[in-house]
Structure 1
């Protein structure tokens, strides 16, 4: 892949051709993996095809904080290696559904995109990810509060109004003034 400077020097058509070739190569590399995967900011879901008639007791599935191993007993693992990032063990699971082992990994730090599942496997360009639309109700309480605050502050700034932090500072100053009427606040500046 060319450097950002080289990309800037290219024509629109050249840039589009380079990016199309990169996307094609990435798709081919991902298709060659022995598993399929998708992700959101908070989790990674992996599916691995296994022979028809495979039962849970025929499998080895080891999900660890920093590694993953999936395979059939007595055979070379289908997936084995260090995970790209840590996962939450208590929230990570696997199931066998017909001919597919489905693995759900909850990201330890649920605010970043993974370039790959296993270190050393082909990477994706995370700058090209378009996240799915989600509803605020899908988020946990803390994350939802943070997103709502950011949305409020963005609307306030767009209207030239004070942000939530500005409003908190003004309220704190007002309380302090009420507690200390002897002080002169006529030249006080917020900042």
Structure 2
């Protein structure tokens, strides 16, 4: 009969719980052999000890081999994880270098429009003066791209209203932020050390590398925030914003920021909000669209309506020079 089939595990676990420890469990087994078998009397004392020690050495050897295999697997996964992070970092540096190069090219193009020019200034009495000044040619303004309906195309919102670094990926909704941190395959919850503070986050492998550590972009509600381990390969951290009415530019302070003006909450999520919050969010979205189109916001519309109402009530007054502030 094999010793690793686990068929007696439930029974043995029950016995171990009642014995409250390894010493008590061993005492039960050895007592059973004394009371119900001739294990001690049917052989010499040296044979009894040799049999017990042989079984102990066998199990100890198996445990050590399993531990070594798990350690090698974890080290290999950590090495692969570090390599992925290194490659992502190199890619990020390459992208940044390309952006810097484009910026330098644009600056050079802008400078090329500037030249020294002699300007003739004509006075009211017919006199004139020649002065040397820097005349700057304005770069040609590019016309905005239009969509099929003739309206100006809008840049797409960042995926998940968040971003990615070489250590983690983050997304957000108006009231919460989710941070996904990759970990070596086979990682267990007890292998992790995750500390969630009001303004700080740390994710590390116990006795190993620190994966994410830093100050959060904004304060959070610690009691409503939590983390889970998914498929032994990714830590998912859910953070509840202390201010559930603002978008974050980044998850960890100092990491690349997103343009929150491009953030677009999913309409399907508005139904999850309470009536007051939903009304506020919809007002924010409406005002944002109005500003993008150069139209009055909801507050400006109300002021205009009040002025028009007042004008109707007082036709004798002259409002030709009235402005709305």
Query: What TM-score range do you get, normalising by the shorter chain?
Result: 0.5 to 0.7
Which of 62, 67, 82 is 2:200 aligned to? 67
Query: Cα distance 1:100–1:135, how it changes in 2: closer, same or farther (>3 A)?
Result: closer
**Structure of higher CA gyration radius:** 2
1:130 aligns with 2:261: no
Q: Which residue of 2 aligns with 1:119?
A: 253
Query: Cα distance 1:45–1:148, how it changes in 2: closer, same or farther (>3 A)?
Result: closer
Q: Which residue of 1 aligns with 2:151?
A: none
CA distance in 2, matches of 1:77, 1:97: 19
Q: Which residue of 1 aligns with 2:218?
A: 85
Query: Cα distance 1:141–1:84, how it changes in 2: closer, same or farther (>3 A)?
Result: same
Residue 164 of structure 2 contacts residue 170 of structure 2 at CA under 8 Å; is this kept in 1?
no
How many aligned residue pairs are there?
141
TM-score under structure 2 length normalisation: 0.37
How far the C-alpha of 1:161 sits from its partner, in A, is 9.3
Query: Cα distance 1:115–1:9, how it changes in 2: closer, same or farther (>3 A)?
Result: farther
How far the C-alpha of 1:114 sits from its partner, in A, is 0.6
Residue segments in structure 1 that go unaligned for 5+ positions in a row: 25-29, 163-191
Residue segments in structure 2 that go unaligned for 5+ positions in a row: 1-102, 111-138, 146-153, 287-297, 307-325
Large movers: runs of 4+ above 3 Å: 134-137, 144-151
Query: Cα distance 1:9–1:119, how it changes in 2: closer, same or farther (>3 A)?
Result: farther
Residue 203 of structure 2 contacts residue 211 of structure 2 at CA under 8 Å; is this kept in 1?
yes
Query: Cα distance 1:53–1:144, how it changes in 2: closer, same or farther (>3 A)?
Result: same
Residue 194 of structure 2 contacts residue 202 of structure 2 at CA under 8 Å; is this kept in 1?
yes
1:106 aligns with 2:106: no
Query: What's the C-alpha RMSD, in Å, of the aligned pairs?
Result: 3.7
Bigger helix share: 2
Query: Which is bigger in relative contact order (C-alpha 8 A, separation at least 6)?
Result: 1
How far the C-alpha of 1:111 sits from its partner, in A, is 0.8
- Deviation per residue, 1:3-26 (Å, 9 max, x gap): xxx9x9742379xxxx98xx99xx
Q: Which residue of 2 aligns with 1:180?
A: none
Residue 180 of structure 2 contacts residue 234 of structure 2 at CA under 8 Å; is this kept in 1?
yes
Which of 32, 38, 42 is 2:171 aligned to? 38
